[in-house]
Structure 1
Amino acid sequence: MTQHHSTLLVLALCSALLSSPLAAKKAEPLSYQTTPVSVPAVHTADSSLVLSMEQIMADPDWIGRQPEAAYWSADSSQVFYQQKREGSELRDWYARPLNAQGNGTPVSLAQLHTLGSETAIYNRDRSLQAWLFEGDVFVRLLPNGAITQLTRDNAAQSDLQFLLDGRLAYREGWSFYAHNLVSGQRTELVSLKTEDSPKAPAVPSGYLAQEQHKLIAFIAKEQQAAEQRYQAKQQLKQQNNSLAPGAFYLGKGMQVVAASLSPKADYMLVSVRKASKRNDNDIMPNYITANGDIAAQPVRGRVNDVVPAPQRLLLLNLQDGSSTELSYSSLPGYNEDVLAEVKAENAKARGEKYKSEKVIRDIGLMTDWYWSQSAIRWHSNGQQVALMLKALDNKDRWIATLDFAGKKLLPQHRLHDKAWVNYAFNDFGWLNNSDTLYYLSEETGYAHLYVKPLKGKAKKLTSGTFEVANPVLTQDDSYIYFQANQSHPGIYEVYRAVLASGEVEQLTKLGGSTSFSLSPDEQKLLLNFSTNLLPNELYVAEAKPAAAVTRLTHTVSELFKQMPFKAPQIVAVPSSHGEQPVFAKVYYPDNYQQGEKRRAVIFNHGAGYLQNSDLGWSGYFREFFFHNLLTQQGYVVMDMDYRASKGYGRDWRTAIYRRMGTPEIEDLADGVNWLVENANVDRNRIGTYGGSYGGFMTFMALFTQPDLFQAGAALRPVSDWAYYNHPYTSNILNTPAIDPIAYERSSPIYFTQGLKKPLLINAPMVDDNVFFQDVVRLVQRLIEQENINFETAIYPVEPHGFRQPSSWLDEYRRIYKLFEQNL
């Protein structure tokens, strides 16, 4: 049996053991599997090899260079993907025909513009494909494949859009153009100017100016001529259709957030806000520079300093040149004091009393850094538009449509969350052939898929204790494809909802982590699949249930295949603080139940809202290697998806609201108890470590529960949330101006006096995510408290995610030394 077939057979057998029917009702108990699971090895490893720190922390090229950014060709016959060039940060493009063998062939630089793009668009009858390459516009005629380059200039185009009349629209800056593909004529549709509207020449105000115009004939004559020229220009614009339409002037000091053109090119929706000015004090010193000087690099603002500006939503009529500001007052809850309880608690702490009153909330489009989809979605017929709006206090998300005649928003859906509305699961849009919306919502506690007619009630298409993501609608509205972790929180497969019947069909059963891309002809799925032991590779299958899966790429190195890596088991740790268990990876050494009680380490993943105890390949692959090395040394290792982690529903996500560092450490304590009771671990020989959010957790564990662990390593850690960024932190803790209690309750710098056990603090100095300042302030506080239980290692050239193998090696040698000396 070939390696290819044996791999798929193992995966299929594993998945068959794990699959279960779709869960149904909100009130039902947890429906996914909680017994220990792991994906078997798919390569034959050499068990005699001893892992070395030098090898596992080396440049990851030794693992293999996995496919990246893969997408379909326009004719659905091949896929394109990038692969890192060995020993370089550069990427090369490869073409992999479905009917070929091997990993495909490199695409020459001279041919890159012909590939299309992952974000390519199609006209309504799918006879044309358009895409951008290096800021220029290309069009392919289907099915013969002939390519036309429409632009070749230094004015980068963006936001491609086929109009209903066949023209291709795009923008340059904030000017929008339509290109006639038959005549070649390019027409400016609308230009947005962040300036005040020009006015007719007028006599300057003031005594001296007035007298000058009365006394000097030349000045009066020039004034009259200027007025005549202005009037003549206005008349020409009104009476001559060959001229471009007049610009829309949005006001000086304003910033365009987003603008979206109707497919009929008759309307445009524009969101604007006051332009914010950078704080010159937001800098990061860089001590290792090419010229030997210290560089002060600009960085993001702190949540304490950032005050997001509300957005004004404008409807521009491109036919008559009128502009109407749309009111948010039709949105339910637009004037609720949603932070009344928070404000009252903080007022009480100050010895004051808070009186709740109606307040007009700041609202704008859902256009945050973590979301790439447009928040303005026009129906393909150009007659309807839907918008996704959010309150800047993070407590509400609305979907609204527009009454063009009444020029007002019509609310279609409100998602309110007392904690915060998730920055994931916000996909939405229109069905192609009816006035019906589809969208994701966490309203029942898990992200599920809904459809809603404009004048009807919403219908839930999926249900159960799992999360739906990345919905993709077919052109004929037959199916919505999506990814979900239905059978187990750590197993992601591809499903589709049959819109006619409401039935949900499972399409893949691979047993690890599977994402997908639907082919342009909607007949095939490009799958990106991985397991705990196999980095991601590309596969293809027909877009139907139980279809055979064919592997397209084999990019893992022979050296990696020989390594004696073992997959962890995924276990469900009983929680002492709720019914839902804490899912965790556990790495076991050989014969761990025999002999003396074992040492153990608990790893804390970063990001907070991230899932690491799943069955796919982890972004924390170096940690995966390190944990295998530790098991060879006799350690037991646990990697927990503590509360706040992704993949387990809304309540798990929001458990940390206003109290970061409390539920997570309670979960770590449950993990310690589980290791002692189930894995032959000595309670007095357990350490912990983690980076970023995991470093924050290490701080909180050692500071607030000093007897829980015997040592800890905090890497690139947050010490004071008031210094972190606004988009992430204000969701969870509100803002320091409104909710200082939450910040003081959640920031490690307030609890340093609790440190009793050895602490290693590793800090990159050019970290523009968690600033080096976080470590500096906390270390100074420990010094002032005369605490000697810590050591600090700095990394002068490293950002938040290390880049140099020497830095990775140094960091993990220090972590290993800490555990060896103290456990």
Structure 2
Amino acid sequence: MFLLAAMPAVAQQKITLPEIWSGAFAAQGMDELKAMDNSNEYTVLNANYNTGSATIDLYDFTTLNKISTLVDSKRYKEFEGIDDYSFSPDEKQLLLATGSEQIFRHSFVADYYIFDIKEKVPVAVSDQKIQEPTFSADGSKIAYGRDNNLFVYDLATKNTKQITTDGKKNAIINGITDWVYEEEFAFVRAYEWNKAGDKIAYIRFDETAVPQFSMDMYNQGLYPQVETFKYPKAGEKNATVSLHIYDVKTNTDKEIKLGNYFDFYIPRLKWTNDAQTLSVQVLNRHQNNLDLIFIDATTGTAKVVLNEKDKAYVDVTDNLTFLNDNSFIWTSEKDGYNHIYHYAKTGKLIDQVTKGAWEVTTYYGFDNKTGNIFYQSVENGSVNRDIYRISINGKNKVRLTAQTGTNAATFSPNFDYFINSFSSAVKATEYTLNSSKDGKLVKGIVNNDALMTKLANYNIPQKEFTVITTAKGNQLNAWFIKPKDFDATKKYPVLMYQYSGPGSQQVNNEWGSYDDYWFSMLAQQGYIVACVDGRGTGFKGAEFKKVTYKELGKYEVEDQIDAAKVIGQYPYVDASRIGIWGWSYGGFMSSNCILKGADVFKMAIAVAPVTNWRFYDSVYTERYMQTPQENPTGYDDNSPINHASKLKGSYLLIHGTADDNVHVQNSMLMIEALVQANKQFDWAIYPDRNHGIYGGKTRLQLYTKMTNFIKEKL
């Protein structure tokens, strides 16, 4: 009887790093879920990572039944699996990417094939790897980028026309973004077909005067190879951009004069429903003035129809949607929170559709049939996400999701149904079919019950959500993971995790990532793990987010230090054993905290940190800081490299040498500053690894190193 009673305690398994990084706890999902435009169906990319093969399967939105397999890669010698896919406008053909080669975070080249769904015969678009191909509106042509130029392939004749000729590496790029646009404006394809398929609008980047950055790539060779690319750092010369419209019928190219702009960005371009009217968003370099401009493609005339200004910065919107009458949906935080607005095609405001002290987080679309708008918001608490529908006049709002956590939707083409992805901190992701009328469950699709059953054997502790009020009166969202056998009479060490970048969020009610399993592993080993979202983070209004303007690393660091002091006062916390860690902006933060909060934090780990904002790119840094020439003290007062002499605790600095984003220069010069301050610290450099530091056993080795450092120093 004694042995039987003891069995449950003995049977509880401990999480291990090899399990985490082998994917043992990975959740099931619906990869590349795409709703069709012309039928009430959706597709999913079902990949078999063991065999390297993949299928694109078609499903009925109403019944969820599989209709057919559109393509199976293993049946074709041309395909090394399927990396990406898109449909022709009539959805009778597919563009399939295979053999992809990554360039930067979002960009890649691949072998692309046109795949006729009925004939099931793949046809190569080009005999070389290409970028960002798209069908014309009538499906007769495909435009794509290659070697910094744009090309048009005719499906009927199989002829290819090169429509730009001056593309040159590290000099001129046509129709594909440069490094800083890709990273900070988050798009690669800088060209768009119009609705008639007779014109292509594109952005041309002249990088000639942009300073060049070089990285050594070791690659196990006798001599390292040098990778060079254009990278504009804060205050340095950006690429000169110009807007062009190419007429496919006449083979003529016209540069569009946007107006009296100097040193500006074109972060978005989109054709309206009028085939000869193009819209572009234009930002000044300070990014505090955004103009929405309509361009007549036949005459080239440009007119500002909407202007947004802000004392700090204006966020670019991805939610511009043109309705049948060419009125448009726009999202803005001009009233202090991000909301949906409806404008006439002239730019005159018709209605503010959503209102309140909460943020719209995703705009899903407009249903012409019912006049309803569908969106996601944090109205049910800033750590949660719910799906709503509302009339375009701002009335008749209905919450369509019932479970508290993170809900995300993919709507059917007729807006009758949506596939809801739901998870919470205690519930792994599940996919269900729901009614768009009232949100009621129609049918389950994918669940992770098997994973939940498996995890039950590990007795994983749950996240506890709370709000911390600092001595300065700031109320900050937080979560804690405590040991499962937590004893309030004991004293525990605490590891704080954060990111803290502008508009970000780490305290959210969602199923965890690999890091969360690591945190649970640390809790099993006797640590409390905590996370606090300080001022500057997102989804609590513009004022809370933009308080850090011109002083990145001041208020966010204050809040982490002040939160640590509050946590240190808890009776079950050993205030002499509080550590902090973070990656990228989080590494910048953890570095600042161990230096500025030297009497609060015992240890810190910084992975791929910015150590001096003068080293980081122009678009991101200047959005929040202006230029170093305009704001030198804002840069210097809050850069860790200038506070190296304050180090008291244990510090681990980690970086990859092939980080094209936050250059290893940041860590190398931080190392030199610490050496010259005669400070002892630990560091690790990962050859040829980028900002993500992964590949092979890299993540396992990295997290083993960090775990050992925490156990030794905290």
What TM-score range do you get, normalising by the shorter chain?
0.7 to 0.9
Q: Once structures 1 and 2 are overlaid, which stretch shifts more, 110-119 or 536-545?
A: 110-119
Q: 1:284 aligns with which of 215, 238, 241?
A: 215
Length-normalised TM-score, structure 2: 0.81
Distance 1:568 1:392 in 2: 41
Distance 1:575 1:753 in 2: 27
Name the structure 2 match of 1:80: 44
Q: 1:442 aligns with which of 333, 348, 351?
A: 333
Name the structure 1 match of 2:458: 563
Taking only the aligned residue pairs, the percentage that are identical comes to: 17
Deviations 1:342-381 (A, max 9, x none): xxxxxxxxxxxxxxxxxx53234214xxxxxxx22221x4
The Cα of 1:483 is off from its aligned counterpart by 1.9
Distance 1:316 1:153 in 2: 21
* Residue 408 (1) aligns with residue 295 (2): no
* Secondary structure, counterpart of 1:782 in structure 2: helix
* Residue 58 (1) aligns with residue 58 (2): no
Distance 1:117 1:778 in 2: 40
Distance 1:582 1:109, change over 3 A: same
Distance 1:119 1:475 in 2: 24
Q: Is the 8 A contact 2:137 2:193 kept in 1?
A: no
Deviations 1:155-180 (A, max 9, x none): 768232325xxx64432556676969
Distance 1:72 1:634 in 2: 46
Aligned residues: 662
Name the structure 1 match of 2:164: 193
Name the structure 2 match of 1:345: none
Name the structure 1 match of 2:143: 171
* Secondary structure, counterpart of 1:544 in structure 2: coil
Distance 1:535 1:508 in 2: 16
Deviations 1:6-50 (A, max 9, x none): xxxxxxxxxxxxxxxxxxxxxxxxxxxxxxxxxxxxxxx989524
Deviations 1:108-128 (A, max 9, x none): 3156999998643545xxxx5
The Cα of 1:578 is off from its aligned counterpart by 6.2
Distance 2:584 2:172 in 1: 36
Q: Once structures 1 and 2 are overlaid, which stretch shifts more, 465-474 or 478-487?
A: 465-474
> Quick check: which one's strand share is greater?
2
Distance 1:365 1:706, change over 3 A: same
* Residue 92 (1) aligns with residue 54 (2): yes
Distance 1:185 1:412, change over 3 A: same
* Residue 792 (1) aligns with residue 693 (2): no
* Secondary structure, counterpart of 1:528 in structure 2: strand
Deviations 1:167-196 (A, max 9, x none): 64432556676969xxx57899x9743459
Distance 2:514 2:250 in 1: 60
Name the structure 2 match of 1:399: 292
Distance 1:153 1:508 in 2: 45
Distance 1:119 1:416, change over 3 A: farther
The Cα of 1:541 is off from its aligned counterpart by 2.1
Q: Counterpart of 2:469 in structure 1: which amino acid? A: P
Q: 1:696 aligns with which of 588, 595, 605?
A: 588
Q: Is the 8 A contact 2:289 2:308 kept in 1?
A: yes
Distance 2:83 2:659 in 1: 36
The Cα of 1:291 is off from its aligned counterpart by 3.6
Q: 2:135 aligns with which of 147, 157, 160?
A: 160
Distance 1:801 1:122, change over 3 A: same
Name the structure 1 match of 2:87: 120
Q: Aligned Cα RMSD in Å?
A: 3.9
Distance 1:485 1:610 in 2: 14
Q: Is the 8 A contact 1:606 1:692 kept in 2?
A: no
The Cα of 1:268 is off from its aligned counterpart by 5.2
Q: Counterpart of 1:159 in structure 2: which amino acid? A: T
Q: Counterpart of 1:748 in structure 2: which amino acid? A: P
Distance 1:806 1:718 in 2: 25
Deviations 1:626-647 (A, max 9, x none): 3223333343221122223233
Q: Is the 8 A contact 1:63 1:559 kept in 2?
A: no
* Residue 312 (1) aligns with residue 242 (2): yes
* Secondary structure, counterpart of 2:637 in structure 1: helix
Distance 1:187 1:504 in 2: 52
Distance 1:477 1:179, change over 3 A: farther
* Secondary structure, counterpart of 2:588 in structure 1: helix
The Cα of 1:504 is off from its aligned counterpart by 2.6
Q: Counterpart of 1:70 in structure 2: which amino acid? A: L
Distance 2:82 2:253 in 1: 40
Distance 1:48 1:148, change over 3 A: closer
Distance 1:797 1:681, change over 3 A: same
* Residue 274 (1) aligns with residue 206 (2): yes
Q: 2:96 aligns with which of 133, 137, 142?
A: 133
Q: Is the 8 A contact 2:499 2:589 kept in 1?
A: no
Name the structure 1 match of 2:604: 712
Q: Is the 8 A contact 1:585 1:639 kept in 2?
A: yes
Q: Counterpart of 2:478 in structure 1: which amino acid? A: A
Unpaired segments of 5 or more residues in structure 2? 1-7, 98-111, 177-189
Q: Counterpart of 2:489 in structure 1: which amino acid? A: G
* Residue 303 (1) aligns with residue 233 (2): yes
The Cα of 1:487 is off from its aligned counterpart by 0.3
Q: Counterpart of 1:284 in structure 2: which amino acid? A: M
Length-normalised TM-score, structure 1: 0.71
* Secondary structure, counterpart of 2:591 in structure 1: helix
Distance 1:446 1:795, change over 3 A: same
Larger Rg: 1
Q: Is the 8 A contact 2:125 2:153 kept in 1?
A: no
* Secondary structure, counterpart of 1:382 in structure 2: coil
* Secondary structure, counterpart of 1:193 in structure 2: coil
Q: Once structures 1 and 2 are overlaid, which stretch shifts more, 255-264 or 478-487?
A: 255-264
Q: Counterpart of 1:81 in structure 2: which amino acid? A: L
Name the structure 1 match of 2:358: 466
* Secondary structure, counterpart of 1:702 in structure 2: helix
Name the structure 2 match of 1:553: 446
Distance 2:500 2:700 in 1: 19
* Secondary structure, counterpart of 2:675 in structure 1: helix
Q: 2:523 aligns with which of 628, 631, 651?
A: 631
The Cα of 1:757 is off from its aligned counterpart by 1.5
The Cα of 1:484 is off from its aligned counterpart by 1.6
Q: Is the 8 A contact 2:234 2:621 kept in 1?
A: no
Deviations 1:504-523 (A, max 9, x none): 32222232222222223433
Q: Counterpart of 2:686 in structure 1: which amino acid? A: Y
Name the structure 2 match of 1:594: 488
* Residue 615 (1) aligns with residue 509 (2): yes
Distance 1:66 1:798, change over 3 A: farther
* Residue 49 (1) aligns with residue 18 (2): no
Q: 1:491 aligns with which of 384, 392, 406?
A: 384
Distance 1:670 1:723 in 2: 28
* Secondary structure, counterpart of 1:647 in structure 2: coil
User: Taking CA–CA contacts closer than 8 Å with sequence separation of 6 or more, which of the two structures ends up with the larger relative contact order?
Assistant: 1
* Residue 363 (1) aligns with residue 264 (2): yes
* Secondary structure, counterpart of 1:735 in structure 2: coil
* Secondary structure, counterpart of 2:479 in structure 1: strand
* Secondary structure, counterpart of 1:552 in structure 2: strand
Distance 1:479 1:148, change over 3 A: farther
Unpaired segments of 5 or more residues in structure 1? 1-44, 197-251, 335-359, 368-374
Distance 1:176 1:517 in 2: 33
Name the structure 1 match of 2:318: 426
The Cα of 1:266 is off from its aligned counterpart by 6.1
Distance 1:293 1:582, change over 3 A: same
Distance 2:158 2:367 in 1: 32
Distance 1:54 1:186 in 2: 52
Q: Is the 8 A contact 1:96 1:552 kept in 2?
A: no
Q: Counterpart of 1:672 in structure 2: which amino acid? A: A
The Cα of 1:561 is off from its aligned counterpart by 4.9
Q: Is the 8 A contact 2:15 2:458 kept in 1?
A: no
Q: Is the 8 A contact 2:464 2:481 kept in 1?
A: yes
The Cα of 1:451 is off from its aligned counterpart by 0.8
The Cα of 1:673 is off from its aligned counterpart by 3.5
Distance 2:35 2:529 in 1: 40
Name the structure 2 match of 1:344: none
* Secondary structure, counterpart of 1:675 in structure 2: helix
Q: Superposition pairs for residues 503-518 of structure 1, below 5 Å?
A: 503-518=396-411
